[in-house]
Every structure is written in C-alpha cells, then in structure tokens.
Chain A
Amino acid sequence: MLRHIGELILLFIATLKALPGNLWNQRTKVVEQLFEIGNASLLMVCILSLFIGGVVALNTGPVLVERGLGSAIGGLVGISVCKELAPVMMAILIAGRIGSAMAAEIGSMQTFQEIDALRTMNINPVNYLVLPRLVAITLALPALVLLSIIIGWLGGALVAANNYQIAISFAAFFSNLRSVVGLEDVVDGLIKTVAFAIVIGTVSCQQGLATRGGPRGIGRSVTKAVVNSIVLILILDYFLTRLLMNFGK
C-alpha cells in the first residue's frame, strides 16, 4: 500500500518535472488524448448529468414543497450538483471509462515489450506516455464537469417543472439557483475536479506501467486502476471539501 502511494508520488513528480521541456513536443498526443476522452465520454456525461440533476430534484422536491420550501429547490439542486455530484460522479465515470483504458493500453505496451523498446530508443515512457495522458485528463475533466453541472441543473429544472408533486417553474427554479449558487461554488467544484483528474491519470498510468504477468496482469492492473482511483477520489473529496470550506470562511 505504502509502496504504491510512493510510486504514485514519484510518477507524479517525474511528470511534473518533464512538463516544461516536453509539453510542447507532446502537444499532438495531448490533443489526441483530449479527443479520445471527449469522444468516449461526452454522451455518457450528458445522460448521466441529466438524470443526476433530475433525481436530486425528484428526491428533495416533494419534501421541500410539503414544508412550504418548494422555491428553495433550485438552490439545493444547484449547490449539490456543482459542488459535489458533478465533480465526484464524473470523476468516477471517467475513472471507469478513461482510467481503465489508460491502464489497459499502457499495461498492454508493458506486457508486449513496447515500453522496453521505447527505453532502448532513449524515449522516456513518462514523457511519451504519461505526460500527454495526465495533461489531457486534467484539461478534459474540468470541461466535462462544467458541462455536467449545466446539464445537471437543466435536469433538475425539468423534473421540478414537470413533476406534479413539485411543479416549480423553470424561471422560479433558476431564479432561486442564481440567488444561492455563486461563481465560487462552481470554482470549488472545478478545483476538486482538477485534483480528481490528477489522481485518475497518475493512478491509471502507474498501474499500467506496473503491469506484470501477461494478459491476466493487464486485467489486474485495469481493476486496480479503477478501484484505487475511486477510493482515492472519495477520500480526497472529503479532505478537499473540508479545506475549501475553511478557505471560504
């Protein structure tokens, strides 16, 4: 466990060190990875976000209306989606969809000696494989989360307007949302997202590079990459939320 954390930190530091001299050289691969991430997850992000916003409204709306607090639903959905649900749910989705693909691809390259071949050509696998993936996911995840927040709000508003137990109009929903949710709330969510993206990228690449034992080893690495990413995201989520609350005071 401690060894894994140590390896993760070392890989992250090595990638950070490689950034200034190699980012421009690896720009094409960063763009390719951005396209891969967007292409693989955009539709899923939209569907998931719409339903996340909708289900929050559905669960809380009738309770609020019952107590005469129906007008507060916009703010409740707004805050919960932008500060918590969109960053965490999208990070988990991307860990499963993109983190697994990263671990599988790098793990397969490790198994079939492609990474050894890179080393013999004096091509550093950190610069060639890890850096573009880490940069791309750190750029892509906040963008996806921003989209998710907007669609999540929309999903909440749709349910609030159309569910007969809630029946809060679009205008009332967004008016309350505007009065409750500030730019700093969205920024808080995006700050967490950047941290989650770094976790997913580093864990997945490290697991890929640590792959041993043929095709079965690739499977193990993929599982570990996804599970470890999700566990770290949830732990980090608590501490980051706590930290951002302190900063907000």
Chain B
Amino acid sequence: MSSAASNTGVRVEVQGLRKAYSGQPVLKGVGFAVEPGEIFVIMGPSGSGKSVLLRHIIGLEPADEGEILIDGRSIAAAGVMESYRMAMVFQSGALLNSLTVAENVGLYLAEHRLKTREEIRRIVREKLEIVGLKDIEEKFPAELSGGMRKRVAIARALVIDPQLVLYDEPTSELDPISSVTIGEEILRLRSRVGATSIVVSHDRDFAFGIADRMAVIREGEIVFIGTPDEVRSNADPFIQQLLNPERLIRRPADRPPNSTVVPP
C-alpha cells in the first residue's frame, strides 16, 4: 500500500460478482463502477448482501465468479492490493481492543515502519483532531462510546492517506447528531485527499446527504444506480418502500384476533 503513486482516488469496477455461502446465493452477478473521488452509496435492506460486497472489494473474501478492478487492474492479480492505499471502516469499528486509541490509529504507520515514533504521535493527534477527538490517546476502545469508536476507526483510515475508503454502515448504533458528524467527516475526507468512497448504509437521510451516486441492492442484485435525485424520483415500488417505509407499529391490543404478525 505504501508504494502508491498519488493521493487521488482510484476507479473501482465490479463486474458480474457472484458469491454463495453453503449453496445459498448472496451476490447474484453484481456490477457497477465508481469513478475516482466519487462518494458511492450502496443502499438496501438488512441481509441484501451489502457488507459481503464490501468485503469482496477490499479483498477479504474471494469471489465465486466475477471480477473487481482497481484502476483497471484485477485485485486477484499478485501485488495489486499492495500497490494502492485502501482502508475500511467496519460496522463495529474493529479497533484492536488490546491497544490504546493512539496505538490503534498509528498501527499502520508503526507496523510498516513508515514514520518515527515522534512523527506517529504527531500524526495520530492530528488525525484524531480532524474527527473531533481530543485527549483520548491513552484510552482503550472499551472506554469509548459507539460514536467515538467509529470516529477513531475513521481516524485510523485517515492515517493511511487512502485512495479508496470503504465504510460499512458507518452510522449504525449512532444517534442522529453523531450520524451527521460522521457524514461530514466522510465529505471532508473526500475534499482533503480526493479519496474514492464506497459507503454501505441503510440510513436514508445519511445516504442522500453524502452520495454523489447511489446503488440500490435487493437480495444480492443491484436494482438501480443513479444520482440521489434519480433514486428519489424512481417509481420502483421496492425503492419507494425502502425510501419511504410505512412505519406503523400496531400495539397488541389493536391487532385483529388470531393475528400473530405485525403488518408493515
């Protein structure tokens, strides 16, 4: 990763990606392209294959069929993943619990021996300040709130100076105000380093707030790709239901007799 030539974002192309677990198809020929510096949001209900898709793009899972290209080069080819700076912000943050916040954020630089200890300390402080965190360097992840952990995970991604950042449900478990902060961080990261961002989310307001383009995924298939306005105006009933869910919860006393299912 350290040998990447530029700070600008990369082009990501997913072609006919298929994946099945125990014979159960999860991705059914997914294909799309993300342009350099673009913020591309993948929206869909839980269990539609969004996170699995991200894990394939970052190379954590091998595809059954199909290909993922970074700047036209297949990530399956030797040395391709190592020649780009990529980072992933996991849904849980995935901070190393046995390390302090400072050690977590500076892990990439320390392990690859890219900077001196003093420089790493300075960079860690700087990146934590970017995500609005101060004086928490010596704390352990278990001592942080969910929102703080997410922001530390973003700071850890920033340290890599990434060309591609993948975010897996960055606003899950967060209150609406923290979600806005995370959204602003993603936009700021793009404007600072020009990184390409692929964001998986089912948070409608968050997705429309940050996306340049969006893909809607349903049961492992992309059903629509377009700008936020195009997605909003799409008449597909599934997309409309996803964007404007009828959230009516009936109390048990209001249910008709013998009914065991809460209607949508």
Which A residues are closer than 8 A to B by beta carbons?
25, 105, 108-109, 112-114, 116-123, 128
Contacts and interface: CB of A to CB of B under 8 A. Distances in A.
A114 B99 CA distance: 11
A118 B58 CA distance: 12
Interface in B98-133: 98, 107-108, 111-113
A120 B82 CA distance: 10
A113 B160 contact: no
B92 A112 contact: yes
Contact of A120 (B87, B92, B97, B98): B87
Interface string B1-14: 10000000000000
B206 interface: no
B111 A117 contact: no
Given A113-B90, A116-B60, A116-B90, A121 B96 contact: no
B95 interface: yes
Contacts of A122: 1, 81-82, 108, 112
B33 interface: no
The 7 closest A-B pairs by CB, nearest first: A117-B94, A113-B94, A120-B88, A121-B108, A122-B1, A123-B111, A114-B96
A109 B98 CA distance: 10
Contacts of B81: 122
Given A116-B55, A118-B96, A120-B60, 20 more contacts: A25-B111, A105-B98, A108-B97, A109-B96, A112-B92, A112-B97, A113-B90, A114-B95, A116-B88, A116-B90, A117-B94, A117-B95, A119-B59, A120-B87, A121-B1, A121-B160, A122-B82, A122-B108, A122-B112, A123-B111
B94 to A, nearest CB: 4
A119 B60 contact: yes
Interface of B: 1, 55, 58-60, 81-82, 86-88, 90, 92, 94-98, 107-108, 111-113, 160
**Chain A's interface: helix, strand, loop or mixed, by majority?**
helix
A108 B86 CA distance: 24
Most buried by A among B58, B92, B96: B96
A116 B51 CA distance: 13
A114 B149 CA distance: 13
A117 B108 contact: no
B86 A120 contact: yes
A117 B88 contact: yes
A119 B239 CA distance: 35
B94 A121 contact: no
Most buried by B among A25, A105, A109, A120: A120
Contacts of B160: 121
Contacts of A113: 90, 92, 94
Contacts of B111: 25, 121, 123, 128
A122 B108 CA distance: 8
Nearest to A123: B111
Contacts of A108: 97
A32 B254 CA distance: 61
A117 B86 contact: no
Contacts of A114: 94-97
Given A112-B97, A114-B97, A120 B112 contact: no
Nearest to A119: B60
Contacts of A120: 58, 60, 86-88
A112 B160 CA distance: 21
A123 B86 contact: no
A121 B107 contact: yes
18 contacts: A25-B113, A112-B97, A113-B90, A113-B94, A114-B95, A114-B96, A116-B55, A116-B94, A117-B88, A117-B96, A119-B60, A120-B58, A120-B88, A121-B108, A121-B111, A121-B160, A122-B1, A128-B111
A108 B108 CA distance: 21
A240 B97 CA distance: 40
Contacts of A117: 88, 90, 94-96
Nearest to B1: A122
A105 B158 CA distance: 27
A192 B195 CA distance: 54
A70 to B, nearest CB: 54
A75 to B, nearest CB: 47
A212 to B, nearest CB: 12
Nearest to B98: A105
Nearest to A117: B94
B163 to A, nearest CB: 13
Contacts of B98: 105
